[in-house]
Amino acid sequence: MSLKNKKIAIIGGGPGGLTLARLLQMKGYQVKVYERDKDQNVRQQGATLDLHEESGLKALHAASLLSEFKKHYRPDADKLRLTDHNAVVYFDDHMNETPAVESGISFRPEIDRGPFRDLLIASLEGDTLVWNSKFVSLQTKENGWDIYFDNGSIVYADLVIAADGANSKLRKYLTHIAPVYSGLTIVEGTIYNAATNVPELWKLVKGGKVFALGLEKSIILSAKGDGSLSFYTGTKETEDWVKTSGINFENKREIYDWFKERFADWGYEWHELFESDESYFVPRPQYHFPLDQQWESLPNLTILGDAAHRMPPYAGEGVNMAMLDAFELAEQLTANDFSNIKTAISNYEKTMCQRAAKITEVTLQSMENMHSKEALKLLLDTFRHIH
């Protein structure tokens, strides 16, 4: 059985969905990607992405995009400084004079989300992306699905791939396994024109990253190529804290008031993050799926990336797992010994769930270490061992 004469719909235009579209188109398959964003110019929030040799870079190599990627990634953006809660530097990657290499297990290049998305889109056939397509529902039709979008359009697909992120609206058509709250909530922020608006922290981050740890809390900073600074605060909160805190997260003054109280035992240096009007904030309770999750595979629907295995961002594995999902799913769907779609999907899902369980376990341990009483010592020992 072949998918070559079938219509494939990928819901979600993130790195995983776009990588899968590229890999399938290289083999001659009919693919459309439906993305809720209005257009390609929507500003990309969030920290930079670091790709790993055994996953994200592996998928890029299969997609014949590694050379193009190397034109756009930011050398030294992966350089890390580790500080305590008073911004005292205890470890500085910038002091490492070993020349950067562009291959091997230590090559974990950083790239901003916007340029990365752009290069993936540019690799696709011109009419692949269907913008302004916010998913509403699925309805079975023949052997496939009618897909309903909030712009009123209805399209048919023989195979649907859910790549719509951590808050996936498609996952429920495959499984009702619910996510588990990790005990940690992040307040994500972006400060624009950082050299002007947060000059001291911009100097501290030095074009790379800062991990600040102390008193069972964290702040992670990432410099971006557009001159903005993204950050995550990490604190242990109840699952319903975003609702019960009474904070209006669209009101910067209320967020700052919370920070001054919650981080009162941290140095004043970090207050700079909340003093600019050129900023953006959003709270993100951190969830993960059970390590033993599994479900009955379907012949016309599957899932990848955060929609399949969301996890906190404390091991840098989210985008890498999504891209490896895309690689492995494409391999199964285009294999020469392809028997039927359900078997191919089942093989992929079994491997994916087992792999994601291991990575989730590692991520949760990393998160716990970074918010423990001995967090700084634990990370210092880890980095010194690596170096």
Between β-strands 159-162 and 7-11, what pairing exists: parallel, antiparallel or unpaired?
parallel
**150: its two tokens:** 């909030």
Whole domain around residue 277: which residue ranges?
180-288
Distance between CA atoms of residues 159 and 24, nearest Å = 13
Q: Do residues 346 and 247 both lie within one domain?
A: no
Q: Do residues 158 and 243 both lie within one domain?
A: no
In a domain, 100, yes or no: no
Residue 259 dihedral angles phi and psi, to the nearest 5°: -60, -45
Strands (E), 125-272: 129-130, 135-141, 144-149, 154-157, 159-162, 180-191, 209-214, 217-223, 229-236
In a domain, 42, yes or no: yes
pLDDT at 95: 83
pLDDT at 366: 95
Q: pTM of the full predicted structure?
A: 0.94
Residue 43 assigned as binding residue:
yes
Closest CA to 25 of 81, 63, 73: 63
Q: Do residues 215 and 284 both lie within one domain?
A: yes
Residue 71 dihedral angles phi and psi, to the nearest 5°: -80, -20
Q: Do residues 244 and 206 both lie within one domain?
A: yes
In a domain, 145, yes or no: yes
Closest CA to 54 of 320, 354, 322: 320
Q: Do residues 247 and 340 both lie within one domain?
A: no
Q: Do residues 196 and 254 both lie within one domain?
A: yes
pLDDT at 386: 66
In tens digits, what is the pLDDT along the chain, a chain of 387 residues?
Answer: 578 889 999 999 999 999 999 999 999 999 999 999 999 888 766 778 889 999 999 999 999 999 999 988 888 888 999 999 999 999 998 887 554 455 544 567 889 888 999 999 999 999 999 999 999 999 999 999 999 999 999 999 999 999 999 999 999 999 999 999 999 999 999 999 999 999 999 999 999 999 999 999 999 999 999 999 999 999 999 999 999 999 999 999 999 999 999 999 999 999 999 999 999 999 999 999 999 999 999 999 999 999 999 999 998 899 999 999 999 999 999 998 777 999 999 999 999 999 999 999 999 999 999 999 999 999 998 877 765
Q: Do residues 24 and 147 both lie within one domain?
A: yes
Q: Do residues 201 and 242 both lie within one domain?
A: yes
Concatenating the DSSP letter of every residue in 309-366 gives: H---SSSS-HHHHHHHHHHHHHHHHT-TT---HHHHHHHHHHHHHHHHHHHHHHHHHH
Q: Do residues 254 and 310 both lie within one domain?
A: no
Q: Do residues 251 and 220 both lie within one domain?
A: yes
Q: Do residues 26 and 125 both lie within one domain?
A: yes
In a domain, 353, yes or no: yes
DSSP state of 151: T
In a domain, 375, yes or no: no
Residue 284 assigned as binding residue:
no
pLDDT at 358: 97
Residue 50 assigned as binding residue:
yes
In a domain, 318, yes or no: yes
Distance between CA atoms of residues 53 and 316, nearest Å = 13
Q: What is the CATH number of the domain that holds 284?
A: 3.30.9.30
Q: What is the CATH number of the domain that holds 315?
A: 3.50.50.60
pLDDT at 102: 54
- How many structural domains is the chain composed of? 2
pLDDT at 105: 46
In a domain, 220, yes or no: yes
Q: Count the Cβ atoms, other than its own, within 10 Å of residue 65.
A: 18
Q: Do residues 310 and 354 both lie within one domain?
A: yes
